[in-house]
C-alpha cells in the first residue's frame, strides 16, 4: 500500500482534497457525502493539530485493585527526542495533560517509512 500523504491540509480545503468523482462514490451521493463530512468536521485533523472534545470520562475500576505503573522502556537519545517533542506538542494542543496518577504505561516508538512514530 502507498504511504499516507504527509501534506498538511486546511479545514477549508476538505472539499478539494476529497475526490467524489471517482468510481467508488455512487452517482448522486457526492453532495450527501460532502455535507456529512462537513457536519462531522471535528473528527478530522487539520493544520497538524489534533481535534479535542471536552468531556468527562468515568473509568470504573474494580475495588481492591492496585494501580499498575510500568517503568519507561529504554530509549536512545534520538527516540527520547521524538517522545519529548511529541509529548510537548500534545500538551500544547491540550490533547493530553500532565498527570500524577499512580497508573502509568510506557510509550513505544515504531518506525514507518523510516520515520519514528509515537
Task: Specify whether 41 is located in the same domain as 5.
Answer: yes
What is d(CA 55, CA 66) in angstroms, rounded to the nearest whole number? 26
Query: Residue 59: inside a domain, yes or no?
Result: no
Residue 6 or 39, more confident: 39
Query: Residue 56: inside a domain, yes or no?
Result: no
Task: Specify whether 77 is located in the same domain as 118.
Answer: yes
Query: Residue 57: inside a domain, yes or no?
Result: no
* Of the candidates 47, 24, 48, the residue with the CA atom closest to the CA atom of residue 33: 24
Span 56-74, average pLDDT: 88
Q: How confident is the model at residue 68 (pLDDT cuts 50, 70, 90)?
A: very high
Span 35-57, average pLDDT: 75
Range of the domain at 23: 1-51
What is d(CA 81, CA 34) in angstroms, rounded to the nearest whole number? 39
Number of domains in the chain: 2
* pTM listed for this prediction: 0.56
Amino acid at each position: 500500500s502507498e504511504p499516507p500523504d504527509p501534506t498538511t491540509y486546511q479545514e477549508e480545503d476538505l472539499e478539494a482534497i476529497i475526490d467524489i468523482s471517482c468510481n467508488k462514490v455512487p452517482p448522486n451521493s457526492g453532495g450527501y457525502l460532502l455535507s456529512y463530512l462537513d457536519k462531522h468536521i471535528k473528527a478530522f485533523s487539520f493544520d497538524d493539530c489534533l481535534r479535542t472534545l471536552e468531556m468527562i470520562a468515568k473509568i470504573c475500576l474494580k475495588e481492591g485493585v492496585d494501580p499498575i505503573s510500568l517503568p519507561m522502556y529504554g530509549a536512545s537519545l534520538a527516540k527520547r527526542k521524538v517522545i519529548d517533542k511529541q509529548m510537548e506538542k500534545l500538551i500544547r494542543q491540550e490533547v493530553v495533560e500532565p498527570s500524577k496518577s499512580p497508573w502509568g504505561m510506557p510509550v513505544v516508538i515504531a518506525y514507518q517509512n523510516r520515520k519514528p512514530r509515537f
